[in-house]
Structure 1
Amino acid sequence: MCSGHYIWAIFFFASLCSASLANNAKINFREKEKKVLDQILGAGKYDARIRPSGINGTENAPTLVYVNMFLRSISKIDDYKMEYSVQLTFREQWTDERLKFDDIQGRLKYLTLTEANRVWMPDLFFSNEKEGHFHNIIMPNVYIRIFPNGSVLYSIRISLTLACPMNLKLYPLDRQICSLRMASYGWTTNDLVFLWKEGDPVQVVKNLHLPRFTLEKFLTDYCNSKTNTGEYSCLKVDLLFKREFSYYLIQIYIPCCMLVIVSWVSFWLDQGAVPARVSLGVTTLLTMATQTSGINASLPPVSYTKAIDVWTGVCLTFVFGALLEFALVNYASRSGLNKANIHKENLKKKRRDLEQASLDAASDLLDTDSNATFAMKPLVRHPGDPLALEKLRQCEVHMQPPKRPNCCKTWLSKFPTRSKRIDVISRITFPLVFALFNLVYWSTYLFREEEDETF
């Protein structure tokens, strides 16, 4: 029993010794890390104001800074302000020969700093930025890693609101290219050059969702700019967004079509139903005007015509045309009534004249009955006789070939009044013209969209 207790005591003592040695090793390792930091960043040993040397320590060569980023979210794309907001993790990597240190046989992989002012930093800025802020909850979302070979990695999470000039000629069947531009503010290309990191320099979160757009693709490129103070290095990312059309189809195009079709209901109402036809035309016209003003309120006042302007303008014209058609029908019905009244008066007057003429002829016949003489009609007519000419004209008419009947005139002759004919013609003309407009509109703008995509 005593030997067993001795064994357990020895084992317990050995474990305590090993734990203390491990803690001492950790303490010694952290102390070595602190010594390395003091060694490379101590007072009088490193000056953050001086830029690093170029490739292979060349003093005259520019410092190369490799950039990559991770797009975490795109919160909104504002058509009116022509801007978009993005949250990203931005990274820069360069080599500073002054920051090399001993990795303690591979045990010290890198040093981590949270103060960017301790080392030299590239003076990069976002040239199309409108607003931006860092993230400081719970701690500032920034770090700097210094590797044994002197390589420095700078990473920070930022939110930006960037300008995005848009061309809205094809709105809402358009695609927009929004750029993110990064450039050096003070160092020229003789001193500092930005380069995209090889192998996926831009990464996008997988579940990126935008309410009215779809991110189709993105391209990285260079955009160096020359000014009177020198040439400055610049990088850019072009984000190609495609506008989702389903929202506009439900909210704009289908309601406009319904308003135009409702305005055609007045063609089927009786021409005497003046209050119903006027109220229907005015209501649809005001509703269409309100719809148009609501659409334009969410868009910037541009100097060119957009695709949505063509659609709403033509729909408004059709609704207004339906209201004018009723005015024409009302005028035609009133003029037809006036002509009918005048025709009746003329018939009554002719009837009275004929009755008066027959009475006068009868009285004259009674007065001259006793002195009447009968004249003998010749058996052979002379060529200049009026009766012979009339018979000849009738024969020529019968000898002419019969004309083919006009279907449209025959069909319209079923409707006695001119106002009714106008309504019937409008029932056919308005839908046909609107269908033709739809065919031309969609084929034109969809074809333009494909052209822009291939371009």
Structure 2
Amino acid sequence: MAQEYSVQLTFREQWTDERLKFDDIQGRLKYLTLTEANRVWMPDLFFSNEKEGHFHNIIMPNVYIRIFPNGSVLYSIRISLTLACPMNLKLYPLDRQICSLRMASYGWTTNDLVFLWKEGDPVQVVKNLHLPRFTLEKFLTDYCNSKTNTGEYSCLKVDLLFKREFSYYLIQIYIPCCMLVIVSWVSFWLDQGAVPARVSLGVTTLLTMATQTSGINASLPPVSYTKAIDVWTGVCLTFVFGALLEFALVNYASRSGSNKASN
């Protein structure tokens, strides 16, 4: 788990440049279309939490610019991004995560450039969105202006609230752990003299449980706090170890009793 998420989006922004006003020929010309972004002035927007990104150029570059008679410019482009998403895994896998998409001005301060969300419905999510391990519960738009020693910079953000799907972990982790604990209890019904059988069963379940725990942690980033899954696997490992320890105590008590009886 790299604490990141990938998104493919159609990004649109609109501004007014009075230098681009033109005659609409009595309403017959609704707008002009450009495919080269460097032909007009554009805001220097960037994604501040981006780790990797690329444009789409099949079959043609997925970008266009519309210039309206009043000088209004609409810029639209399709991009794919990999964005950083710091996660709190204390309740993993029963957790909810908030991942942000941040868009800010790189060089222009708020004295020259201010980003504003469009009124109404500024962010749209496809209705058939399907995520294998998460459910998108809701999203919120907000502002995240930042101040540095060079000035204040305008910033927009979208907070995405994800809920982790529990069914996958129930089948892959919780049920197998329960089964291992129950199998370790089988040694309670074996004869106390069946030493090889009880030792083999106890050691096998203990090693399997340790391997399961190691596999779970291998897919997660190393963190300094205890996760909910750590508590679960720790309790299961304790039960399995307790079953093996029970055999050692019973065997010791049996031998001690036999020695006293023979004396």
TM-score (norm 2): 0.96
Quote the offset at 1:268 in angstroms. Answer: 0.8
More helix by share: 1
Change in Cα spacing, 1:147 to 1:87, as seen in structure 2 (3 Å) is same
Deviations 1:391-441 (A, max 9, x none): xxxxxxxxxxxxxxxxxxxxxxxxxxxxxxxxxxxxxxxxxxxxxxxxxxx
Deviation per CA, 1:323-376: give whole Å up to 9, x if none: 00000000000001xxxxxxxxxxxxxxxxxxxxxxxxxxxxxxxxxxxxxxxx
Cα displacement (A) at 1:230: 0.1
Q: How does 1:427-438 map to 2 (within 5 A)?
A: none
Residues in 2 aligned to 1:149 and 1:329: alpha-carbon distance in whole angstroms = 91
SS at match of 1:203: coil
Deviation (angstroms), 1:106: 1.0
1:105 CA displacement: 1.2
Q: Distance in 2 between matches of 1:184 and 1:194?
A: 8
The structure 1 residue matched to 2:226, chosen from 296, 305, 320, is 305
Deviations 1:293-331 (A, max 9, x none): 000010001000000000001100110010000000000
Q: How many Å apart are 1:169 and its aligned residue?
A: 0.2
Q: CA separation in 2, counterparts of 1:190 and 1:452?
A: 93
In the superposition, relative to structure 1, how do residues 452 and 200 fare at CA in structure 2: closer, same or farther (>3 Å)? farther
Report the alpha carbon displacement of residue 94 of structure 1 after superposing the two structures with TM: 0.4
Determine the C-alpha separation between the residues in 2 that align with 1:234 and 1:241: 22
Q: What is the aligned partner in structure 1 of residue 25 from structure 2?
A: 104
Identity rate, percent: 97
Q: Between Structure 1 and Structure 2, whose CA radius of gyration is higher? A: 1
Deviation at 1:229, TM superposition (A): 0.2
Shift of 1:184: 0.2
Give the Cα separation in 2 of the matches to 1:150 and 1:317: 71
Q: What is the RMSD computed on CA atoms of the aligned residues?
A: 9.4
Q: What displacement does 1:453 show?
A: 64
- Secondary structure of 1:192's match? coil
Could you say what secondary structure the match of 1:144 adopts?
strand
The answer to whether residue 123 in structure 2 is matched with residue 202 in structure 1 is: yes
CA distance in 2, matches of 1:104, 1:85: 45
Task: Quote the offset at 1:147 in angstroms.
Answer: 0.3
- Aligned CA distance change for structure 1 residues 295 and 452 (closer, same or farther; 3 Å): farther
The number of residues matched between the two structures is 261
Go from structure 1 to structure 2 and tell me whether the alpha carbon gap of 1:334 and 1:452 turns closer, same or farther (over 3 Å shift): closer
| Distance in structure 1 (CA, Å) of the matches to 2:178 and 2:108 | 58
1:174 to 1:202, Cα distance in 2 relative to 1, 3 A: same
Give, in whole Å, the separation in 2 of the partners of 1:334 and 1:289: 30
After superposition, the C-alpha distances for 1:263-285 in whole angstroms (9 at most, x for unaligned) are 01111111011111110000100
Deviations 1:369-393 (A, max 9, x none): xxxxxxxxxxxxxxxxxxxxxxxxx
Query: Matches of 1:279 and 1:146 in 2, distance apart?
Result: 77
| Superposed displacement of residue 102, structure 1 | 1.0
1:99-121 CA distances to partner (integer Å, 9 max, x unpaired)? 11111111100000001111100
Q: Which structure has greater strand proportion?
A: 2
Distance 1:84 1:317 in 2: 35
Structure 1 runs of 4+ aligned residues shifted over 3 Å read: 450-455
- For residue 8 of structure 2, what is the aligned residue in structure 1? 87
Deviation at 1:454, TM superposition (A): 68
What is the aligned partner in structure 1 of residue 200 from structure 2? Answer: 279
Deviation by residue 1:236-279 (Cα, 9 ceiling, x = unmatched)? 00000000000000100011011001101111111011111110
Say if 1:454 and 1:238 are closer, same or farther in 2 by CA, change over 3 A: farther
Task: State the SS of the aligned residue for 2:132.
Answer: coil
CA distance, structure 2, for counterparts of residue 127 and residue 289 of structure 1 = 41
The normalised TM-score by structure 1 is 0.56
In the TM superposition, 1:331-410 aligns within 5 A as 331-336=252-257
Cα distance between partner residues in 2 of 1:120 and 1:453: 99
- SS of equivalent residue, structure 2 residue 61: coil
- Please give the secondary structure, in 1, of the residue aligned with 2:115: strand
Q: 1:173 to 1:159 in 2, by over 3 A?
A: same
**CA separation of 1:276/1:178 partners in 2, compared to 1, >3 Å: closer, same or farther?**
same
